[in-house]
Amino acid sequence: MLVSGLTPRSPKHADQQLAVSPGRSVGPTMKRRDFIAYGSAAAMAAGLVGAMTGQTADAQTAATFELHLEEIQEEMIDGEVLFALAYRHPVTRLIRPTLQVVEGATVSLKLVNKTRKPRRFALTGFATDRFPIIPAGSSQTVVFTAPGAGSYIYHENAEGAVGRLVGLHGPLVVLPVNGRTALGAKTPYTDPTAAQAALFDALGASTRFPGEPWRHDVNERNFVWMFSSIDPALNRQVELNLAIDIAGLRSKFLPRYFTLNGLSGYDASHDLATTPHGYEGEPVLIRSMNAGLATHSPHIHGNHIFTIADVDSGSLAVRKRTNIVECDSWALPPLWRKDVLLPFIKPDDIPDGAWPPREETFPLYYPMHCHMEMSQTAGGGNYPQGLITHWEMVGPRKAAK
């Protein structure tokens, strides 16, 4: 099914649209339009804090970052303004930025707690009490060794999931030192499994996947989808510093907003850092992560995806897939991460003889939405203003023009 009513955009303008002036303040209230410019789209272009050029996997022995824990106001898709918490980069002022490191590097992260309560940094795959409590108004530098290549969520857990649900979370991307298959194809993982190697070796080198191999060094081939859910009542409790029933949080949590990279509905579908876009034969890696409390089931139209990595259900450690199958939706419980490959091939419902299409002009738009139907709404019923975006094929395979 095609998405209609969206204004076509060309990726060639991405650099202009993603430009951000570091240090420019967005004011006390983070409006939706400001978030699009500062909190999401710019995050992929300028917010890979301490990142290397592109996504090269050259060995790094150390990485240094600084994040401030702040109390902010965020505007929801329906205009409601909520109290929230966020990790913020002190220079770019981006909230919840993507951190990128190389596996095995010594990571030094300075955390400045500007909130009114003690906070504790946490990282999926690490023990919940691995890092110290940071008193209100204080700073602390935590040091750890970057885990194996894959996708992780950094968050806050001094009061269980409370801080995370109110906004203290973000993605951590760990790159491999090498990551190549025996045939030389680049993958996102060290020592890829036989199944992973077979898929990445086939990209751009087979009739099933014509075009190019996956590109680790091009932003348009690498996306982060951070899912989250918001219950305004919980945000209000945190704002008023009220006692929270942590043990009963799950049973009382009633989300009214569902976000993808902090955006919902129309905004998420018009954000260049959230909508994969490219030509036929330009495969894209999507690192999907769930920082919320609701389980999600992302569903993609137009192409099937291939889940290439997920997590161990007990430890939440990254697990490289040894059996890769194609599917059109995948389960994403709280704190889970799944790396999926969107192949950007001819949609199966278009006959070979009708490709490239002559009646339906490029770009072709295909939606992504969550199959947990409540997540498609906002504010208790506004549809489709929840977890929805799209991907777009801007043209046929370049060699086939």
- For residues 289 and 154, give the distance between their C-alpha atoms in angstroms, rounded to a whole number: 11
| Position 289 confidence tier, pLDDT thresholds 50, 70, 90 | very high
With a cut of 90, say whether residue 53 has pLDDT above it: no
Residue spans of the domains in the chain: they are 11-176, 194-222+263-400
25: helix, coil or strand? coil
Mean pLDDT for 244-256 is: 94
Q: In what order do the strands lie in the sheet with 364-370?
A: 277-279, 388-395, 364-370, 298-300
Instruction: Tell me the CB-side half-sphere exposure of residue 386, using CA atoms within 13 A.
Output: 26
Confirm if 116 and 241 have CB atoms less than 8 A apart.
yes
Cα-to-chain-centroid distance, residue 304: 19
The three-state secondary structure class of 162 is helix
* Domain 194-222+263-400 in the same topology as domain 11-176: yes
Q: Encoding tokens for residue 345?
A: 């091939």
**pLDDT above 60 (res 39):** no
Instruction: Check residue 400 and give its pLDDT.
Output: 55
Q: Over the stretch 170-194, which tens digit does the pLDDT of each residue have?
A: 999 999 999 999 999 999 999 999 9
Q: Which of 308, 280, 151, 284 is nearest to 221 (CA)?
A: 284
List beta partners, residue 377. none
How far is it, in rounded angstroms, from Cα 123 to Cα 147?
10
- Residue-wise burial string across 367-384, b where 16 or more C-beta atoms lie within 10 A, e elsewhere: bbbbebeebbbbbeebeb
pLDDT tens across 329-341, in order?
A: 999 999 999 999 9
195 three-state secondary structure: helix
Q: Are the C-beta atoms of residues 67 and 95 closer than 8 Å to each other?
A: no
Q: Write down the pLDDT at residue 131.
A: 97
Closest by CA to 163, choosing from 214, 239, 275, 105, is 239
Residue 45 has pLDDT above 70, yes or no: no
What is the C-alpha to C-alpha distance for residues 245 and 221, in angstroms, rounded to an integer?
42
CA dihedral 121, 126, 130, 131 (to 10 degrees): -20
What is the mean predicted confidence (pLDDT) over 152-170?
Answer: 98
Residue 168 banded pLDDT, cuts 50, 70, 90: very high
Collect all residues with Cβ–Cβ distance below 8 Å to 248 and sequence separation of at least 6: none
Alpha-carbon gap, residue 204 to 211, rounded angstroms: 4
**How far is it, in rounded angstroms, from Cα 387 to Cα 332?**
13
3 state SS of 194: helix
Q: Is the pLDDT of residue 352 over 50?
A: yes
Residue 131 parent element (H or E): none
Which CATH number among 1.10.150.120, 2.60.40.420, 2.60.40.10, 2.40.480.10 corresponds to the domain 11-176? 2.60.40.420
CATH architecture of the domain 194-222+263-400 equals: Sandwich (2.60)
